Amino acid sequence: MRMLLSAAALAAMLGASACMTTTETSSAMSAPVAATDIVDTALAAGQFKTLVAAVQAAGLESTLRGAGPFTVFAPTDAAFAALPAGTVADLLKPKNKAKLASVLTYHVLASKVPSSAVAGKTVDVATVQGKTVKVVGAADGTVTVNGAKVVAADVNASNGVIHVIDRVILPPM
């Protein structure tokens, strides 16, 4: 069954420890909180140079350094490189700042949602951009976001969580 939920409702509904087993609750509660924000965590990882450059070009850096909480579906440099030739360069042009911001905010939820919250569920969740993404938590533990595979989940930051995805997701126009 598909549900249309806001990010806050998704976090509230799926983040409840009552839905987790004792082991899951213990590990979720003991997960360390990083000392660095989303931007610094991405920079330190070394595989998000294009994403961080885009965030800076779109004027979103201070937002993603803010209190949050945020969930960021972060495409790697390889994911950006897989876009058609010239796409990234075109988006980074000052005249395309609004379009770039739209693409980037389509990768962000206005709440912290761990991967365990979507296990075995399919949900449509509102992004900061305003459109929804379809998050599928398969029974085998894999998670996809609009078809992009989450290749590393639950990278904690002081103001949220990063889920690394294998491709850039584009909002419907």
Q: For residue range 33-75, what is the model confidence (pLDDT) as tens digits? A: 456 999 999 999 989 999 999 999 999 999 999 888 999 999 9
* Domains, the chain, ordered by start: 3-165 (2.30.180.10)
Average pLDDT for 105-118: 92
Average pLDDT for 10-36: 38
Residue 89 phi, psi (nearest 5): -60, -40
CA distance 25 to 28: 5
Answer yes or no: are the C-beta atoms of 158 and 35 closer than 8 Å: yes
Residues whose CB is less than 8 angstroms from the CB of residue 125 and which lie 6 or more positions away in sequence, other chains included: 5, 6, 7, 10, 109, 113, 132, 133, 135
Q: For residue range 74-101, what is the model confidence (pLDDT) as tens digits? A: 999 999 999 999 999 999 999 999 999 9
Q: Is 59 helix (H, G, I), strand (E, B) or coil?
A: coil
CA distance 155 to 129: 22
Q: Residues of 121-141 as b/e, b for ≥16 C-beta within 10 angstroms?
A: bebebbbbbeebbebbbeeee
Asked if residue 121 has pLDDT above 60, the reply is: yes
Report the predicted TM-score, pTM, of the whole model to 2 decimal places.
0.80
- Count Cβ atoms within 10 A of the Cβ of residue 70 and give its class: 0-12 exposed, 13-18 middle, 19 or more buried: buried
Q: How confident is the model at residue 32 (pLDDT cuts 50, 70, 90)?
A: very low
As a whole number, the mean pLDDT across the chain is 82
Edge-to-edge strand ranges of the sheet holding 160-165: 3-5, 122-126, 132-137, 143-145, 148-157, 160-165, 70-75, 108-109
Answer yes or no: are the C-beta atoms of 151 and 111 closer than 8 Å: no
108 token code pair = 């962000």
